[in-house]
């Protein structure tokens, strides 16, 4: 272990060791249960006396940050509550520019709880199920790419809008879904999250108004907040965004962009009806406002007929469309794309260059080799079968274990079910209890522009778990709800 020491600085050496370890424990660089070197080993490593190291360890042990297990060694202790960790570096210790960076925020990035979640926690969060990923096929494809393209796949791949064959493939896949796309209108991005960021950074400036559905995708909200945009939410009903409420907002707030997810919206699972798609496009044209259409999962349809994408209704230049391979394959690939026509395309490409030069060239080569229209469609059929079963398992478990006064709309596709909780059961109260009981959900508050909204909702992802796991997870959630309602456990029994 290398700990930087300065014997001339006036701070005792044992304190320097202690402070360094404290800071690294607090930052997570030394996670719980990491084994520390013995005092003898560390003394030799650092060229100090053993008693110096012992003093440093004694201070940390006194504060409960490390512990010694007889015969095994010294370890980092499980997390303490935030107050104790923060004690290692009080807020006022930060340089002033760091303090300037505090403030401005949305909901906490990570909620922390003063207890470890059980190891068998069933988390209704995330995207797909990595256990279902065709690893063998993919491995074969990686080998094929190296054999065919050699090391060229390891270079940046040039400053352009992405690996051209992949852009052609994406254009073909989109065309097979009724969205006519030319490869030179496709920009490959590092996930569609980057596509959203590129569009906003290119077209908007701080203070501009962006219109969103209410609720909407939480990391789009994070993006808009980070760009200091003003967010105006339009409520939704079963037909998707209440487009009839949009025009007054356009007149009053003069927004610079409309962000929408017309299919299997995240988090509501709802779809924008066909007439509303046309009305939305019509308003956008009349008021000269770009539509940012986020199509993250429209392929995953379990029943019903697909409606035309807003992009496919556009006669040119009004809609920027984003898509991703994250839901179809896996999010760790980090490949998404946007489709845009008109002068804005070049500006988006330049913005992409300054952000990250290029999306992983290797992964673009691999994905292009892996994804053919045929394989894409067969993958789709398989995922659709699998996730439909899981959606149905979730619906059955909700009916079986949750109180009858929960409310939800059955999602006809996508990954999420948006659940309205019973009266007087706020999701932020429920979440720590659920975590303790080994079940996790995404609290509704994350999906609203205002932090005090959404406490009556939770979002459940049904794609990441098997039907058996879903059943068990919802059984646990049902017990948590029953106990919340009646802590004595007398009035309501959950079988
Ligand atoms: N849009 C929506 C609606 C999403 O839910 C997500 C991710 N969950 C994204 C965009 C970004 O996905 P990715 O960057 O993995 O393509």
Q: Is residue 115 part of a domain?
A: no
pLDDT over 50 (residue 78): yes
- 353, 373, 393 - which closes a domain: 373
**CATH assignment at residue 32:** 1.10.10.10
Average pLDDT of the residues in 332-359? 95
β-strand 209-214 against 257-260: which pairing, if any?
Answer: parallel
- Other beta carbons within 10 angstroms of residue 485's beta carbon come to 14
Does any domain span residue 342? yes
What is the pLDDT of the chain when averaged over all its residues?
90
CA distance 269 to 296: 12
Q: Are residues 255 and 150 in the same domain?
A: yes
d(CA 468, CA 457): 24
**Does one domain contain both 396 and 368?**
no
Structure confidence at residue 139 (pLDDT): 92
As given in the structure block, the two tokens for residue 96 are 């002033």
Instruction: Give the three-class secondary structure for 164.
Output: helix
- The reply to whether 209 and 338 lie within a common domain is yes
Q: In terms of domains, do 69 and 42 share one?
A: yes
Specify whether 394 is located in the same domain as 334: no
What confidence tens digit (pLDDT) does each residue in 257-279 have? 999 999 999 999 999 999 999 99
Phi-psi category of residue 360: left, alpha or beta, with phi > 0 → left and psi -120 to 50 → alpha: beta
> Is residue 174 domain-shared with residue 53, that is, in the same domain?
no
- Note the pLDDT of residue 176: 85
Is the domain of 274 the same as that of 357?
yes
State pTM to two decimals.
Answer: 0.81
How many angstroms is it from 194 CA to the middle of ligand 1? 9
What pLDDT score does 471 carry?
Answer: 98
- Asked whether residue 108 carries a pLDDT value surpassing 70, the answer given is no
User: Considering the chain, what percentage of its residues have pLDDT values greater than 90?
Assistant: 69
Q: Residue 426 is part of a domain; what is its CATH number?
A: 3.90.1150.10
Residue of 212, 219, 298 with the most ligand 1 atoms within 8 Å of its CB, for mutation: 219
pLDDT of 107 higher than 80: no
- Per residue in 151-197, pLDDT (tens digit) is 888 988 876 899 999 999 999 989 988 999 999 999 999 999 999 99
| Structural domain contains residue 494 | no
Q: Is residue 220 part of a domain?
A: yes
Tell me what pLDDT residue 85 has: 45
What confidence score (pLDDT) does residue 494 get?
44
Output the CA 118–ligand 1 centroid distance in Å.
Answer: 28
Residues 286 and 347 in one domain: yes
Q: DSSP for 174-242?
A: HHHTT----GGGEEEESHHHHHHHHHHHHH--TT-EEEEEES--HHHHHHHHHTT-EEEEEEEETTEE-
Q: Is residue 441 part of a domain?
A: yes
Whether residue 30 sits in one domain with residue 69: yes
Probe residue for ligand 1, chosen from 200, 264, 296, 414 as the CB with the greatest number of ligand atoms within 8 Å = 296
> Is the CB of 189 within 6 Å of ligand 1?
no
pLDDT at 200: 98
What do you get for the CA distance between the two ends of the chain, in Å? 53
Residue-wise pLDDT for 411-470, tens only, equals 999 999 999 999 999 999 999 999 999 999 999 999 999 978 999 999 999 999 999 999
d(CA 405, CA 403): 5
Whether 78 is covered by a domain: the verdict is yes
Per DSSP, the three-state class of 366 is helix
Which residue(s) pair with 294 in the sheet?
322
Judgement on whether residues 241 and 204 belong to the same structural domain of the protein = yes
pLDDT tens sequence across 371-426: 876 777 888 888 999 999 999 999 999 999 999 999 999 999 999 999 999 999 99
215: preceding bond cis by omega (within 30 degrees): yes
| Ligand 1 lined by 191 (C-beta under 6 Å) | yes
By the 8 A CB rule, do 307 and 277 touch? yes
Please indicate whether residue 361, judged by its CB atom, sits closer than 6 Å to ligand 1: no
If one counts the domains in the chain, the total is: 3
**For residue 139, what are the domain limits?**
135-373
Length of the chain: 495
Residue 87 has pLDDT above 50, yes or no: no
Residue 204 belongs to a domain: yes
At 236, list the tokens: 């939704």
CATH of the domain at 188: 3.40.640.10
Reading the block at residue 401, the tokens are 């274990």
Consecutive H or E run containing 75: strand 73-76
pLDDT band for position 492 (50/70/90)?
A: very low
């Amino acid at each position: 272990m290398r700990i930087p020491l300065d014997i001339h600085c006036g701070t005792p050496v044992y304190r320097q060791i202690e402070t360094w370890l404290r800071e690294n424990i607090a930052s997570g660089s030394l996670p719980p249960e990491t084994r520390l070197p013995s005092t003898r080993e560390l003394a030799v490593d650092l060229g100090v006396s053993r008693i110096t190291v012992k003093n440093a360890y004694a201070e940390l042990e006194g504060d409960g940050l490390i512990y010694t297990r007889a015969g095994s060694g010294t370890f980092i202790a499980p997390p303490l509550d935030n107050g104790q960790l923060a004690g290692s570096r009080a807020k006022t210790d930060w340089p002033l520019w760091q303090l300037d960076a505090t403030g401005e925020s949305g909901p906490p990035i990570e909620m922390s709880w003063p207890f470890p979640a059980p190891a068998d926690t069933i988390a209704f969060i995330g995207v797909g199920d990595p256990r279902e990923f065709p690893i063998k096929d993919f491995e074969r494809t990686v080998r094929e790419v190296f054999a065919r393209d050699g090391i060229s796949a390891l270079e940046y791949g040039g400053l352009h809008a992405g690996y051209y064959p992949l852009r052609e493939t994406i254009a073909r896949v989109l065309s097979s879904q009724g969205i006519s796309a030319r490869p030179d209108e496709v920009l490959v991005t590092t996930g569609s999250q980057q596509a959203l960021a590129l569009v906003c950074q290119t077209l908007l400036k701080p203070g501009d108004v962006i219109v969103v559905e209410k609720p909407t995708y939480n990391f789009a909200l994070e993006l808009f907040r980070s760009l200091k945009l003003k967010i105006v939410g339009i409520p939704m009903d079963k037909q998707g965004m209440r487009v009839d409420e949009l025009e007054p907002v356009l007149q009053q707030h003069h927004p610079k962009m409309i962000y929408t997810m017309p299919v299997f919206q995240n988090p509501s699972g709802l779809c924008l009806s066909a007439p509303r798609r046309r009305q939305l496009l019509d308003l956008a044209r009349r008021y000269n406002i770009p539509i940012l259409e986020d199509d993250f999962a429209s392929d995953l349809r379990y029943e019903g007929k697909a409606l035309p994408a807003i992009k496919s209704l556009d006669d040119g230049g009004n809609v920027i469309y984003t898509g991703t391979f994250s839901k179809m394959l896996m999010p760790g690939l980090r490949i998404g794309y946007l489709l845009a026509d008109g002068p804005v395309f070049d500006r988006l490409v330049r913005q992409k260059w300054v952000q990250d030069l290029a999306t992983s060239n290797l992964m673009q080569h691999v994905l292009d080799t892996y994804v053919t229209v045929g394989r894409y469609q067969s993958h789709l059929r398989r995922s659709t079968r699998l996730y439909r079963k899981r959606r149905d398992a979730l619906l059955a478990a909700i009916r079986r274990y949750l109180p009858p006064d929960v409310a939800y709309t059955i999602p006809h596709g996508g990954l999420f079910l948006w659940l309205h909780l019973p009266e007087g059961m706020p999701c932020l109260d429920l979440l720590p209890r659920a975590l303790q009981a080994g079940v996790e959900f995404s609290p509704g508050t994350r999906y609203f522009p205002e932090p005090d909204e959404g406490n009556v909702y939770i979002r459940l992802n049904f794609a990441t778990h098997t039907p058996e796991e879903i059943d068990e997870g919802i059984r646990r959630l049902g017990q948590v709800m029953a106990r919340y309602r009646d802590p004595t456990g007398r009035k309501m029994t959950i079988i």
